[in-house]
Homo-oligomer: A and B are copies of this chain.
Amino acid sequence: MHVAILGATGAVGRTFLEVLEQRNFPVAELTLLASERSVGKVIEWRGRKITVRAPEPGCFRGVDVALFSAGGARSLEWAPRAAEEGAIVVDNSSAWRMDPEVPLVVPEVNPDAAANRPKGIIANPNCSTIQVVVALKALENASPLKNVVMTTFQSVSGAGETGKAALDRELRGETGDTPFSRTIAGNVIPQIGKFDGEGWTEEELKMVYEPRKILSLPKLDLAPTCVRVPVEIGHSVEMMVEQERPLSRDEAIEALSAMPGIVVSAAAEKFPTPLEVAGRDEVFVGRIRRDIHRPNVLHLWVVADNLRKGAATNAVQIAGLLG
Q: How far in angstroms is the closest Cβ of chain B from A90?
A: 29
CB pair A186–B289 under 8 Å, yes or no, is no
CB pair B297–A223 under 8 Å, yes or no, is yes
Chain A residues 254-313 with CB under 8 Å of chain B are 268-269, 271, 273-276, 286-294, 297, 299, 301
Chain A contact residues, majority secondary structure: mixed
CA distance A269 to B191 in the complex (A): 8
Determine the chain B residues whose CB is within 8 A of the CB of A273 once the complex forms. 182, 187-190
CB pair B190–A289 under 8 Å, yes or no, is no
Q: Does A236 contact B (CB under 8 A)?
A: yes
| Copy count, this protein chain | 2
Q: Does A171 contact B (CB under 8 A)?
A: yes
Q: How far in angstroms is the closest Cβ of chain B from A86?
A: 40
Q: Does A56 contact B (CB under 8 A)?
A: no
> With A249-B199, A269-B195 in contact, do A190 and B236 touch (Cβ < 8 Å)?
yes
Determine the chain B residues whose CB is within 8 A of the CB of A227 once the complex forms. 153, 236, 238
Determine the chain B residues whose CB is within 8 A of the CB of A181 once the complex forms. 269
> With A221-B293, A291-B223 in contact, do A231 and B187 touch (Cβ < 8 Å)?
yes
> With A186-B232, A187-B274, A188-B231 in contact, do A240 and B223 touch (Cβ < 8 Å)?
yes
Encoded as 1 (CB less than 8 Å from any B CB) or 0, chain A from 212 to 230 comes to: 0000000001110101011
CB pair A271–B191 under 8 Å, yes or no, is yes
Q: How far in angstroms is the closest Cβ of chain B from A229?
A: 6
Determine the chain B residues whose CB is within 8 A of the CB of A195 once the complex forms. 268-269
Q: How far in angstroms is the closest Cβ of chain B from A1?
A: 36
Determine the chain B residues whose CB is within 8 A of the CB of A199 once the complex forms. 249, 268, 287-289
Cross-interface CB contact of A190 among B187, B225, B249, B287, cutoff 8 Å = B287
Q: Does A183 contact B (CB under 8 A)?
A: yes
Chain A residues 80-113 with CB under 8 Å of chain B are none
Q: How far in angstroms is the closest Cβ of chain B from A75?
A: 26
CB pair B231–A186 under 8 Å, yes or no, is yes
Q: How far in angstroms is the closest Cβ of chain B from A276?
A: 7
Q: List 15 A-B contacts (CB under 8 A).
A: A153-B227, A186-B232, A187-B274, A187-B275, A188-B229, A189-B273, A190-B236, A190-B238, A190-B271, A191-B269, A198-B249, A198-B290, A199-B288, A221-B294, A225-B238
A residues with a Cβ closer than 8 A to B are 147, 149, 151, 153, 171, 181-183, 186-191, 195, 198-200, 208, 221-223, 225, 227, 229-232, 236, 238, 240, 249, 268-269, 271, 273-276, 286-294, 297, 299, 301
